[in-house]
Amino acid sequence: MFGISESGARVLYSNAVQKILDNLEILDNDGRKDIADKHYKKVYREKSDHLPKNQKWYLMANVFGLTPKEIAELDGKTTNKNVSSAIFRFAERDKAGNINLIEVIP
């Protein structure tokens, strides 16, 4: 279809993945990772301010697969125990049908 064999496509894909990994390693070693982390944390806070924390944490855990520890690190103001408890409570309310996410989205 694109004038390349399946094995050629695999080689190109493998090379692209390796370049990405090499660049990530350079960023990690260069100190830029910290700058990127701060940027993403700021964007995360700005984009998610309209959701209550328990709903936000529940979605982060169940949609994006983040652990309570990772969520607490992103939040920066709580512990993974608090996050875990909030996720559990929200999941219980969700199972009982007491949640409507549409109401909180502006």
Number of structural domains (the chain) is 1
18 vs 11, 21, 52, 76, 81, CA distance in Å? 11, 5, 39, 32, 37
Q: Establish if 73 belongs to a structural domain.
A: yes
Q: Establish if 41 belongs to a structural domain.
A: no
pTM value surpassing 0.75: no
Number of H helices, E strands in the chain: 5, 0
Which domain covers residue 89, as residue numbers? 51-104
Query: What pLDDT was estimated at residue 101?
Result: 58
Per-residue pLDDT of the chain (106 residues; tens, 9 = 90+): 457 787 777 777 777 877 877 777 776 666 666 676 777 777 766 766 667 888 888 888 888 888 999 888 888 888 889 999 999 998 888 888 877 655 444 4
Query: What pLDDT was estimated at residue 48?
Result: 64
For tokens 């608090």, the residue is 82
Q: Establish if 85 belongs to a structural domain.
A: yes
Query: What pLDDT was estimated at residue 106?
Result: 47
